[in-house]
Amino acid sequence: MDKTDVLMELSAAGRDDLSQWVNDNLHVAAPKDATSGLQKAHYDDKSIEQHLVEWETNDRDTGDDLHRYFEDEFGRWDWCEIYEEGIRINNLMFDDVVEDFSPLGNIFAAVAAQASHGAFAHIAACLGVDKDALRLAVSEWSEDQDNLPAPIGAERLLESCAKQAEWLREMNSTK
């Protein structure tokens, strides 16, 4: 399959998500003599979580496994859920007990929160809106990933950001 075939398939399927289409359609079997951890990482039957538990005894790229686990298997958006899952995975990998609201747990929370807030900040900068207004405008889509409201489109998003920015100004002026 060449580049033209791939583009035609994407167009015919109405897919604009190339990475998902590639994952769905271009899997190939691993070479029988594959020995590198990177090659093995994508071709065995174990879950990524199981590989993370066994990280000390396998020859895989643990960083790659962590990224793939959080993006592909866990796949949640809310930073609080990500923080809690980070603690759970840490406890599995290191046979440790990091507790919520402990100093180490607070590090997990701060990192997850800043990753989320940073994502909002860079998108807000791209759109030319206030980052906190953007976060408020999309909160309905952030807080319940399994029960999303209908999409509103770019124009209504920008209108909502303007309304939220005004509300934030009003709230800050009453302090």
Q: What's the pLDDT tens digit per position in 144-157?
A: 899 999 999 999 99
Q: Output b/e per residue, 15-46; b: 16+ Cβ within 10 A.
A: eeeeeeeeeeeeeeeeeeeeeeeeebbeeeee
Least confident of 44-48, 49-53, 54-58, 95-99: 44-48
Query: Residue 41 — very low, low, confident or very high, per pLDDT cuts 50/70/90?
Result: very low
Average pLDDT over residues 97-110: 93
pLDDT band at 1, cuts 50/70/90? low
pLDDT of residue 38: 40
**Residue among 102, 110, 62, 103 at smallest CA distance from 83:** 110
Contacts of 9 (CB under 8 A, 6+ apart): 1, 15, 21, 25
Which alpha helices (H) appear in the chain, and where do they start and end?
Answer: 3-13, 18-25, 37-40, 48-53, 62-68, 79-94, 103-127, 131-137, 139-143, 153-173
Residues 6+ apart with CB under 8 A from 127: 134, 157, 158, 161
pLDDT of residue 31: 35
The length of the chain, given as a count of residues: 175
Q: What angle do CA 134, 138, 141 make, to 5 degrees?
A: 160
Q: Estimate to the nearest angstrom the gap between the alpha carbon of 145 and the chain centroid.
A: 12
| Predicted pLDDT of residue 14 | 53
